[in-house]
Amino acid sequence: MTEVEVISKRFGATEVLGQISFRIAPGETLAILGPSGIGKSTLLKIVAGLDRRFEGRVARPERLAMVFQEPTLLPWRSTLQNLTLVHADLSRGAAEDMLAQVGLAGKGGFYPGQLSLGQQRRLALARAFAGRPQLLVLDEPFVSLDAELAETMLSLTESLIARARPATLLVTHARAEAERLADRMLWLGGSPARLGPEP
Amino acid sequence: MERFPVTAVSLLGLLGLWIAAAALTSDPSILPQPWSLVGPAWTEIASGKLPYHLGHTLVRVAWAFALAMGIGTVLGFVMGRCETVNRWLDPWLVVFLNLPALVLIVLCYLWIGLNETAAIVAVTLNKVPNVTTVIREGVRSFSGDLDAMATVFRMPFRRRLRHVLLPQLAPYMSAAARSGVAVIWKIVLVVEFLGRSNGIGFQIHLYFQLFDVARVLIYALSFVAVMLAVEWLVLQPWERQARRWRTA
């Protein structure tokens, strides 16, 4: 079970996030929607444990994975090593299998720079799922993609989530994405931002 | 490789300039022709004098280089990562960056004595601030996104260092190493000139007093030759290896 209870998050004198609390059950996908600049990324960093300077409490499971807005790969290591270096217990065979699942079979020896942007995104997805995450955090993973690529990525993510069933937190400003992936939607709004019903 | 002839032709050009200058001077005691150095150079090598002094200089350069790179990298890393440490140490860095090499050398000889330790400490102290500055800049340019990635996926420290941080630092390390060797060997010569009884700097001092331009050139060029070999046999292959992912 993932439990988030933020009392307050400030940057200097500005209070960015107010009282926010939610839970994500194992296997459930929760989408948090809101316009750009509202504090979605800030909230996400708190949930992922990247930002510990806030008032409140977060309980998250052991195995965590995240898909960032950008692929965020290690450009100096091969595609296969991008999986095996990040997940120490991942065998070579399992890593190759994971590459095949995202349509990168046989590309294990390539450097990320030799892949297309779409392939890099798929590698980032493979990296997230290769660790068999209990909590998966998706930070606007389809932003800045053209419609066709976004659709491919969306259905790939959908099928991977269906197979692995992690607790998933999706942060996005696109309602269509959220409706497609999520079991439940919450809206972030106001200043300081709080969760509420659809505005 | 396509650029090999360029290097060779470029070096030949420099040699041509030397020949032309020597012909114009037409006084071997001021600037001898390159080929007139071959005989004396062979005598110095055969007698074992040149290898002996070159060896001593190389050992000093190697020690000072290893110490300066080691200390400078650690300091630069900590200063780049931790703003508080940086605020405290930055004034020291400015002081040491601007302390003339000669002053540090003289002080080390006066305080530690005319010995090997003083020589190596003096050279190391001269180079550490430089390495620190370059590495700190490299550490400051670390990608925050990759940091976040390594944190989320809980990469252990050593794995993170080796596969996430050091590859980002590689261009800065090679820049520091390049300028490091060049500066260090020049300072080692001054250290030897002032207070050692062997090494290339000592020999240059000796032949300077004898107005023997040919031998000054022989000793200086012998080290340049060694450094070119290091550049081509060690540094460049290493860099090619480290940069492979960029060109793939």
Q: State how far residue B23 is from chain A, nearest Cα, in angstroms.
A: 52
pLDDT band with cut points at 50, 70 and 90 for residue A146: confident
Contact B154 A64 (CB under 8 A): yes
- Residues A167 and A24 sit within 8 Å (Cβ to Cβ): yes
CA-based R_g, chain A, Å: 17
In a domain, A9, yes or no: yes
Domain map (residue ranges) of chain B? 52-243
Residue B151 has its nearest CB partner, among A50, A110, A137, at: A50
Cβ–Cβ contact B149 with A under 8 A: yes
DSSP A7: E
Cβ–Cβ contact B156 with A under 8 A: yes
Q: Which residue has the tokens 């409490």?
A: A57
With a pLDDT cut of 70, the percent of chain B lying above it is 98
Amino acid residing at B180: G
Tell me the residues of chain A between 107 and 126 that have a Cβ less than 8 Å away from chain B.
Answer: 110-111, 113-114
In a domain, A74, yes or no: no
| Residue A74: predicted pLDDT | 93
Q: In terms of DSSP bridges, do strands A29-33 and A55-59 run parallel, antiparallel, or are they unpaired? A: unpaired
Task: Average the pLDDT over B54-82 and give the result.
Answer: 93
In a domain, A50, yes or no: yes
Closest residue by Cα to residue B89 from B128, B31, B47? B128
What CA–CA distance (Å, rounded) separates A77 from A112?
A: 8
Please check the confidence at residue B2 and state whether its pLDDT lies above 80: no
C-alpha B144: how far from chain center: 32
For residue A64, list chain B residues with Cβ-Cβ distance below 8 A: 152-154
Task: Average the pLDDT over A135-160 and give the result.
Answer: 87
Task: Average the pLDDT over B42-69 and give the result.
Answer: 92
- Residues A2 and A167 sit within 8 Å (Cβ to Cβ): yes
Fold of B52-243: MetI-like fold (1.10.3720)
pLDDT band with cut points at 50, 70 and 90 for residue A38: confident
What CA–CA distance (Å, rounded) separates B96 from B90?
A: 10
In a domain, A17, yes or no: yes
For A78-133, write each residue's pLDDT tens digit.
999 999 999 988 899 999 999 998 889 889 899 999 998 889 999 999 999 998 99
Q: In terms of DSSP bridges, do strands A2-11 and A20-24 run parallel, antiparallel, or are they unpaired? A: antiparallel
For B109-142, write each residue's pLDDT tens digit.
999 988 999 999 999 999 999 999 999 999 999 9
Residue B187, number of CB atoms within 10 A of its CB: 24
- Find the domain containing A28 and state its range: 1-63+135-141+167-199
The ipTM assigned to this model is 0.88
Please check the confidence at residue A52 and state whether its pLDDT lies above 70: yes
Closest residue by Cα to residue B153 from A192, A176, A132, A76? A132
In angstroms, the Cα distances linking B186 to A120, B123, B180, B223 are: 47, 9, 10, 10
- Residues B87 and B78 sit within 8 Å (Cβ to Cβ): no
Cβ–Cβ contact B153 with A under 8 A: yes
| Residue A13: predicted pLDDT | 87
| Residue A79: predicted pLDDT | 93
Cβ–Cβ contact B152 with A under 8 A: yes
| Residue B196: predicted pLDDT | 87
Cβ–Cβ contact B28 with A under 8 A: no
Closest residue by Cα to residue B140 from B86, B104, B88? B86
What CA–CA distance (Å, rounded) separates A180 from A168?
A: 13
Task: Average the pLDDT over A170-192 and give the result.
Answer: 88
Tokens encoding A177: 């994405």
Cβ–Cβ contact A70 with B under 8 A: yes
What CATH number did the domain enclosing A32 receive?
Answer: 3.40.50.300
Residue A10, number of CB atoms within 10 A of its CB: 13
Nearest CA in chain A to B168: A76
- A116 CB-near residues (< 8 Å, 6+ apart): none
Q: How many CB pairs under 8 A join A and B?
A: 57
User: Which among B153, B165, B166, B240 is the top mutation candidate for probing chain A, defined by the most A β-carbons within 10 Å of its own β-carbon?
Assistant: B153
- A9 CB-near residues (< 8 Å, 6+ apart): A15, A16, A17, A39, A42, A43, A46, A51, A53, A54, A55, A56, A192
Tokens encoding B63: 């020690």
| Residue B181: predicted pLDDT | 83
For B224-236, write each residue's pLDDT tens digit.
888 888 888 888 8
Please check the confidence at residue A175 and state whether its pLDDT lies above 90: no
Please check the confidence at residue B4 and state whether its pLDDT lies above 70: no
In a domain, A179, yes or no: yes
Nearest CA in chain A to B159: A85
Q: Tell me how many domains chain A contains.
A: 1
Backbone φ and ψ of B62, nearest 5°: -60, -45
For B146-192, write each residue's pLDDT tens digit.
999 999 999 999 999 999 999 999 889 988 988 888 889 889 998 99
DSSP output for B10-74 = HHHHHHHHHHHHHHHH--TTTS--GGGGHHHHHHHHHTTHHHHHHHHHHHHHHHHHHHHHHHHHH
With a pLDDT cut of 90, the percent of chain B lying above it is 62
Cβ–Cβ contact B155 with A under 8 A: yes
- B82 CB-near residues (< 8 Å, 6+ apart): none
pLDDT, greater one: B247 or B214 = B214
